[in-house]
Amino acid sequence: MFIAVDWGTTNRRIYAIDDDGAVTATLRDDRGATAVSDYPAEISAMRAQFGDLPVLLAGMVGSNIGWRAVPYVRAPAGAEALAGALAEVAPGVFIVPGVSWQDGDRADVMRGEEVQLLGAVASGAVAGDALLCQPGTHCKWVQMAGGRIARFTTAMTGELFALLRKQGLLAAQLGGAVENGAAFRAGVAEGARRDLAASLFAIRAAGVLGLRDDADAAAHCSGLLIGADVAARLAQADGQVVDILSDPALGGLYQTAVEVLGGTARLHDSQTAFLAGITRIRELAQ
């Protein structure tokens, strides 16, 4: 048995996992990397609750805003490479490294998503050469090859949406819900024109001129940003199916966007993928 933590910036999920890979307990709270300063104390609390077990940590806990900045493993990287590069930060406590990619002057980084991506392959949910999409504040688009993370691109789609909702010209119009409906789909089609600065201002103009109900503006804006993201990826995807690892809400939006733009997408639960990945890494590390 071991404890696994998917330790993000603003929240974390803790799992107690038995030797068959089954989850015996799970806890989700908002003690993300930015809320925690005494990591040994956090580990003690987990062991008090779930048992004096080995602990595997993944995510921003391994960055310079977390417990310790663990060096990236460079792509192509599979579960074996990550298992061989675990950083033992305390007795029996290991941090899974993130993955970097570089090709000439193009480069990208991930920290945390690697576990879900490799888990989706390890569990057989996706093929070893799948095109994976993990949407969120920073959406990861990952080409797998031979079961490894081969290359990837991160689009800060979710963060742009959050910034625009929070302040500036459009903020007052973007308070509505993002429903996966007609306004979202129209936004996707507009986003595929890949002229974000103009399409975003047009939300203001449409509001001022009474051409769109502000209740639909957030959905349209989300469609715009997700549509531009998906359009750029599909242009390079050569007809590949997009395997989306996500929660159902955001995954559904990305799936709709892929379909509006002529592609095919399948949804997979990201939590299941995380568990498969961390279990595989644990197996390989023993």
Task: Between 53 and 189, name the residue whose CB sits nearer to a second copy.
Answer: 189
- Binding a second copy (rule: CB under 8 A), the pick from 48, 52, 208, 239 is 208
A 10 A CB-CB count for 148 gives 20
Task: Between 48 and 197, name the residue whose CB sits nearer to a second copy.
Answer: 197
Indicate whether 34 belongs to the interface with a second copy (CB under 8 A). Answer: no
Task: Between 87 and 125, name the residue whose CB sits nearer to a second copy.
Answer: 87
**Two structure tokens written together for 281:** 């890494």
- Binding a second copy (rule: CB under 8 A), the pick from 155, 218, 250, 258 is 155
Q: Closest Cα to residue 43, out of 32, 29, 33, 57?
A: 57
Task: Between 20 and 105, name the residue whose CB sits nearer to a second copy.
Answer: 105
Indicate whether 253 belongs to the interface with a second copy (CB under 8 A). Answer: no
A 10 A CB-CB count for 260 gives 21
**Two structure tokens written together for 148:** 């490894």
CA 11 – CA 30 distance, rounded (Å): 4
- Binding a second copy (rule: CB under 8 A), the pick from 22, 45, 169, 172 is 169
Spell out the residues 6+ positions from residue 226 whose beta carbon is closer than 8 angstroms to its own: 135, 157, 187, 188, 191, 253, 254, 257
Q: Torsion angle, CA of 40/45/50/51, rounded to 10 degrees?
A: 60
CB of 84 to a second copy, least distance (A): 21
CB of 199 to a second copy, least distance (A): 9
Indicate whether 229 belongs to the interface with a second copy (CB under 8 A). Answer: yes
CB of 84 within 8 A of CB of 94?
no
Binding site for a second copy (CB under 8 A): 100, 102, 105-109, 138-139, 153-157, 159-160, 162-164, 166-169, 193-198, 200-202, 204-206, 208-209, 211, 225, 228-229, 232
